[in-house]
Amino acid sequence: MVIKDKDVSLTTTGKELIDALLDTRQRELELMEDLSSEQLSGPRIRNVEPPLWELGHVGWFQDRWVLQHIDKQKPVSKRANSLYDSFNIPNSERFELYFPDIEETKEYIQDVLDRIIQRLEGREPTEEEIYFYRLSTNHEDMHTETLHHIRQTCGYSAPSLSLEKESDAALTIDPDYESHDVEIPEGTYQLGGTKGTHFVFDNEKWAHPVQVNPFEISSTPVTFGQYMKFVDEGGYGDRTLWSDEGLAWLEKSQQTQPVFWKKDGENWVWRWFDKWLPTNSHHPMIHVNWYEANAYSAWAGRRLPSEAEWELAASSEPSSNGNSFTETKRMYPWGDHQPTNGLANLDSRAMGLVDVRAYSAGDSAFGVRQMIGNVWEWTADTFEAFPGYVIDPYETYSEPSFGQQKVLRGGCWATRSRVIRNTFRNFYTPDRNNIFAGFRTIKK
């Protein structure tokens, strides 16, 4: 299904907001349109939601924050709060709800979308309106990524999306490139978002000084080939490599290898959506949780980067003498211009992983590669508020997860480019291995 632009008179800013909403809605619907009724309800798997719930939820969110919050209107649907309120309806209970069918759900979310488009007609949106429209777009963009990993977790087919595919030229790979450690100098780094940025969440606010010691970070994420050695040498059975929490997870999960992996004769294969594929030694390792990333790091004699170390390597520029870094802080590793083809694996253009040797044009100023896109990267840190934290109106986004989850940085192949930036903080519980996450390491 392709949504056509609406015939309304809009200001330039209003049109930009609406174009973004239409674009993310088209992606959302395309991720659903080939799913059967049974698949829309989803198998009862921990850490996923029914895709049909996902669809209704994004409409409820727009209604909640634009029509109800700004305009003080009554809910578009009387049942919506009892079905789609993500904070008050735990994941495990969402499978027990009786949802409207796909057509009725589409009608509901289209009704909401039509209303929030029409309310911008013929006038300049206020700063408050701009914020909540961008919040709604970012929220739906993040849920389109969630639908990708729901399809992967459930073993559904890869989605078919109407988008510009990544060109062969953009994926030029230097066969002589080898992963190596990049030296990052010490200094006081301003960790977090800076004022004046297009859009940031409350957990990024605001940049504050953090003293960072010199460190050496891998120029690429850990690859399938590197991780396979850890598996083959008994890493999952070596208790000395795992934390107490990691051992508890191993015992509960009974995993002896990465999720979605199995042996085909003497070789490892892995499931990508509904197909079993050979592992590519130059692709970044994916679908590992925080415990697994730490165990691998211990096995390799290395460690995960802190948030400050990761963000410094992604956003800073070396000083002229190379002994420190300047006050310049880039929005993306390559600079301040938005992601485009040839810079990062985003927006589902590659429909999966690419070689860690690709995208040299997207290197950070220090020469660290693929810090944006391809796979999310676990950091060592627990998700906490920054100093001076002030909660935003979307009060259940960050605060309930403080102290409970671990921070990931950098986005993945399915992340929308308008969402991601060097300061963006993703967060999941340390046991989650069905998300598109990998990691890179630092020399001890």
The residue extents of the domains of the chain are 12-154, 166-444
Distance from C-alpha of 78 to C-alpha of 82, rounded to nearest angstrom: 8
183 φ/ψ sector (left φ>0, alpha ψ -120 to 50, else beta)? beta
CATH code linked to domain 12-154: 1.20.120.450
Q: Where are the beta strands (DSSP E) in 310-400?
A: 316-318, 325-329, 376-382
Distance CA 236, CA 288 (A): 12
Q: Which residues of 338-376 are buried (b: 16+ CB within 10 A; e: fewer)?
A: ebebbbbbbbbbbbbbbbbbbbeebbbbbebbbbbbbbb
pLDDT tens for the chain, residues 1 to 444: 334 444 445 577 999 999 999 999 999 999 999 999 999 998 888 889 999 999 999 999 999 999 999 999 999 999 999 999 988 888 778 888 888 999 999 999 999 999 999 999 888 999 999 999 999 999 999 999 999 999 999 999 999 999 877 766 668 899 999 999 999 999 999 999 999 888 999 999 999 999 999 999 999 999 999 999 999 999 999 999 999 999 999 999 999 999 999 999 999 999 999 999 999 999 999 999 999 999 999 999 999 999 999 999 999 999 998 889 999 999 999 999 999 889 999 999 999 999 999 999 999 999 999 999 999 999 999 999 999 999 999 999 999 999 999 999 999 999 999 999 999 999 999 999 999 999 999 999
**CATH 3.40.50.300 is held by the domain 166-444:** no
For residues 346 and 337, what is the distance between their CA atoms, to the nearest angstrom?
15
Classify the phi-psi angles of 159: left when phi > 0, otherwise alpha if psi is within -120 to 50, otherwise beta: beta
| Tokens representing residue 35 in the block | 């799913």
Phi-psi region at 312: left, alpha or beta (left = phi > 0; alpha = psi -120 to 50): alpha
